[in-house]
Amino acid sequence: MAGTSELNEDKKARKSKRGRGDAPVVEAPGQPDQDERDDRSAQEASVSEDNYEFFKVIQGYLDEAAGIIGLPAHVREMLSQPKNEIIVHFPVRMDDGSLKIFKGYRIQHNNLMGPYKGGLRFHHSVSLDDLKALATMMTWKCALMGIPFGGAKGGVKVDTNKLSRDELMRVTRRFTHALGNNIGPNYDIPAPDVGSNAQMMVWIMDTYMNQVDHTNKNAQRAVVTGKTLNCGGSPGREKATAQGAIHCLTEWAKDNRFELEGKTAIVQGFGNVGSFSSLLLSKLGVSTIAVGDHTGYMRSVEGFNAHKLSDYVKKNGSIAGYEGGQPITREEFFATKADIFIPAALENQLRAPEAELLQVKLVVEGANGPCSPEGEALLAKKGIAVLPDVLANSGGVTVSYYEWVQNLRSETWDLEEVDRRLEKTMKETYRKVAFFASEKKVSMRVAAYCLALRNLGNAYEERGIFP
């Protein structure tokens, strides 16, 4: 682990690729290599035609919030770039006997408050720019929630739909091997994100345990969170992100005298966050009347049966072919009149054109970065409230922290205990953000950033800068 901070990488200056025990490979500056060309094309593929630069957007929010709280310039400067950008290339044998080289990333933004923490995205659109933005947001989330973790994000550029289960397992294990001691229970702790799940976290844990020198095997399980219950996962982790978002929603509803029973929602993305959001909404009497994922969109005037649709997606991998709804276009989805919109897919989905169409009262950001700044400005103009990602989807990392603590202490908490702690933390943090927003007359997003940055700024001030 020593020396990983030396991997700090300026993309323009050098690129280091490192497997466990390998010396970093440094390439000549100035010449765009194949990786950089790949990065660019991935960014082009992942963003829409408006050339969305996710990391720049996050830096814009950082600047705005830093100005409001008077964050010292050097702290702002330190937080504006990740500490380490690790890129690995690794070979995997495919089912047909051929070998394929995959590209994986781990971006470690900041570890002032504790070990780096953040998900692993397995998606064909994964790019350096997006992961830098997502890693940065993890730092804000943990600082806002008062969790002793820093921020990180990683992933593999791969279309998981094109892999068999065995191929996916080999990609996951070989990626873990390539990351080597750049992850660890006290250093950097991955978790699930788009395209990864509890089974993949268990493969990561098992691979890690088999390649490090360990004396306390149980504690090594804490190298990753979001695992299955059999292998050290926490009760309540699977639904945690959605559950946290629902706690924010119920607090917002109280503040705004908004009776939830009988209301309607539309949900984009029907994976972990989207499906659990829909299930938990149904418990509050809110019916999901339109859904969408990477295969398309559908509507059900009488409301989807969230359980049935979740089971269908678990079995079939997407909403495609589900018979309980009528197919609609993406535009029709965004134009569906409802009370609540839960984006739970990718970033930059709610731009100005989608915001123009939207007819809801509230957006609860289950996804990270779903609103572009232009989209958000239009929502504000239309009087549509937004519960921002840094607050609304932080239930996932909060319960990941509970899982980590249980693993390190060899404890198992019951679901009631996890739910009770999560509810308390989410509601208290919601109150702080809502209070700051109304006191300073800023959006909930800017308020969440301000509170997170204030915590980080205070810690930097007390610790000083080494040496």
With CA atoms as reference, report the closest residue to 175 among 89, 108, 93: 89
Query: Which alpha helices (DSSP H) does 146-197 contain, by range?
Result: 165-179
User: Quick check: 372 binds ligand NAD (CB under 6 A)?
Assistant: no
368 binds ligand NAD (CB under 6 A): yes
Taking the C-alpha atoms of residue 39 and residue 62, their distance in angstroms, rounded to an integer, is 24
In terms of Cβ atoms closer than 10 Å to its own Cβ (0-12, 13-18, 19+), residue 330 is middle
User: Of the ranges 22-30, 217-225, 228-236, 364-372, which one interacts with ligand NAD (CB under 6 A)?
Assistant: 364-372
> Mask: binding to ligand NAD, 227-266, rule CB under 6 A, as x and -?
--------------x-------------------------
By CB under 6 A, is residue 271 in contact with ligand NAD? yes
Smallest distance, ligand NAD to C-beta of residue 461, A: 29
Stretch that binds ligand NAD, among 68-76, 100-108, 362-370, 371-379 (CB under 6 A): 362-370
Q: Taking a C-beta distance cutoff of 8 angstroms, is the pair 440, 450 a contact?
A: yes
**Beta-carbon neighbour count of residue 261 at 10 Å?**
7
Question: In the range 186-205, which residues lie near ligand NAD by CB under 6 A?
Answer: 192-195
Window of 20-28, 79-87, 344-352, 434-442 that interacts with ligand NAD by CB under 6 A: 344-352
361 binds ligand NAD (CB under 6 A): no
Tokens of 5: 């901070």
Q: Pick from 180, 232, 366, 457: which binds ligand NAD (CB under 6 A)?
A: 366
Catalytic residue among 15, 153, 157, 227: 153
Among 163, 179, 298, 346, binds ligand NAD (CB under 6 A): 346
Dihedral sign, Cα of residue 183, residue 186, residue 187, residue 190: positive
Give the count of residues interacting with ligand NAD (CB under 6 A). 24
Residue 455 DSSP SS3? helix
Among the listed ranges 49-57, 90-98, 339-347, 455-463, the one in contact with ligand NAD (CB under 6 A) is 339-347
Q: What is the DSSP letter of 230?
A: G
Query: Is-catalytic flag, 153?
Result: yes
Are 195 and 206 in contact, with CB atoms under 8 Å apart?
no
Q: Would you put residue 196 in left (φ > 0), alpha (ψ -120 to 50) or beta?
A: beta
Taking the C-alpha atoms of residue 113 and residue 144, their distance in angstroms, rounded to an integer, is 11
CB nearer to ligand NAD: pick between 75 and 344: 344
CA 267 to chain centre: 17
Active site residues: 153
- Applying CB under 6 A, the residues found at the interface with ligand NAD are 192-195, 241, 268-274, 292-294, 318, 344-346, 366-368, 393, 396
